[in-house]
């Protein structure tokens, strides 16, 4: 496929606006067609700011694009994605893929029937530091993983808990590092600010290789923290999502007289600085053009959603008891 793919964005809130901006910077790969949003004032403002066309209905937009980018509330993902797939339009959906597992499964089935690409916006997988991890972890046995995704309370996020809002990022990243069925999950949480929704959560998972993963997510912490640490048999790896850097502390054996003397050395992994969202959109377009599997396809997103649901069930069932 050599011609430029035609792109439209549905939902132009703060995240959707970033999608518009980045697609417009990829003019060598795609042709930006226009935007749609239920908020007429917002969509007209974005259209004017970026010099793009706004559409009054989805059907007209679907008819003019090859790709639709969905950045709307999670509850709307299923209906919009299925409508796009029915009209033979490739789909990128912001995370989570859908609100319910059955909905995600139907999207997967429809995309396979139509031969269309569905990618899901788990943006951290395109963080330059995360992209560098496979090389860092090559030939290493992972023993434990510990992720922290913490930040202050945002009253604008009132329709979902911290597990689906924040922890799902780390569920997806950890599952990509140690893939396979999770053998055990335990989780705990606390409601502090939201109406019936968990604001602070900790999940412990035993991975397929026996590694233990501890995930902490908070939206009540007065400091923004985004970090992942990985313990292997011979090293300790610290990944900072915000600084986009990796530090590796390694054990080294030095010969000293008759005995080997252990010593540690610190190595900073230099990663290429790229905007994750732009990398994600570029990857999506190239996956369609080249007929290759996206880094995060609908099946990966379904796995992340499924684990999210299991963690939520563990926590909320304790509350009911």
The answer, as to whether pTM is greater than 0.75, is yes
| Structural domain ending residue among the three candidates 91, 116, 141 | 116
Q: Are 211 and 182 in contact (CB under 8 A)?
A: no
Distance between CA 140 and CA 185 in Å, rounded? 24
**So what's the pLDDT on residue 197?**
93
Q: What is the average pLDDT across 229-241?
A: 96
Distance between CA 34 and CA 21 in Å, rounded? 12
Percentage of the chain lying above the pLDDT 90 cut: 84
Asked if residue 279 is part of any domain, the answer here is: no
**So what's the pLDDT on residue 229?**
98
Q: Are 286 and 4 in contact (CB under 8 A)?
A: no
Q: Please write the tens of the pLDDT for every residue from 273-290.
A: 889 999 999 999 999 999
> Where residue 259 sits, what CATH number does that domain have?
3.30.360.10
Number of domains in the chain: 2
**So what's the pLDDT on residue 154?**
83
> Which strand (E) or helix (H) includes residue 241?
none
Asked if residue 295 is part of any domain, the answer here is: no
Q: What is the average pLDDT across 109-119?
A: 98
Residue 185: DSSP 8-state:
E
pLDDT above 60: residue 251: yes
pLDDT above 50: residue 321: no
Distance, CA of 215 to chain centre:
15
Quick one: 109 and 140 in the same domain? no
Domain range spanning residue 261? 125-274+306-320
């Amino acid at each position: 496929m050599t011609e430029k793919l035609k792109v439209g964005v549905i939902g132009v809130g703060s995240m959707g606006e970033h999608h518009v901006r980045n697609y417009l910077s990829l003019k060598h790969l795609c042709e930006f067609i226009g935007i749609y949003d239920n908020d007429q004032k917002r969509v007209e403002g974005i259209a004017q700011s970026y010099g793009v066309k706004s559409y009054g209905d989805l059907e007209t937009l679907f008819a003019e694009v090859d790709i639709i980018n969905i950045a709307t509330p999670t509850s709307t993902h299923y209906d919009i994605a299925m409508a796009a797939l029915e009209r033979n339009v490739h789909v990128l959906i912001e995370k989570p893929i859908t609100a319910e597992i059955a909905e995600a499964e139907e999207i997967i089935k429809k995309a396979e029937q139509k031969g269309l690409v569905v990618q899901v916006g788990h943006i951290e997988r395109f963080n330059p530091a995360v992209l560098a991890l496979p090389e860092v972890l090559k030939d290493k046995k992972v023993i434990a993983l510990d992720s922290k995704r913490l930040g202050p309370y945002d009253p604008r996020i009132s329709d979902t808990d911290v597990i689906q809002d924040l922890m799902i990022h780390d569920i997806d990243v950890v599952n990509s590092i140690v893939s396979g069925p999770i053998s055990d999950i335990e989780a705990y949480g606390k409601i502090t600010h939201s109406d019936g929704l968990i604001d602070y959560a900790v999940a412990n998972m035993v991975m397929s290789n026996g590694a233990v993963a501890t995930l902490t997510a908070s939206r009540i912490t007065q400091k923004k923290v985004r970090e992942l640490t990985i313990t292997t048999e011979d090293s300790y790896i610290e990944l900072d999502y915000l600084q986009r850097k990796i530090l590796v502390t390694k054990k080294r054996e030095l010969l000293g007289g008759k005995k080997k003397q252990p010593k540690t050395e610190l190595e900073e992994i230099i990663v290429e600085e790229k905007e994750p969202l732009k990398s994600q959109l570029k990857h999506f377009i190239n996956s369609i053009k080249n007929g290759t599997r996206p880094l995060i396809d609908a099946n990966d997103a379904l796995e992340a959603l499924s684990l999210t649901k299991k963690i939520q069930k563990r926590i909320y069932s304790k509350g009911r008891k």
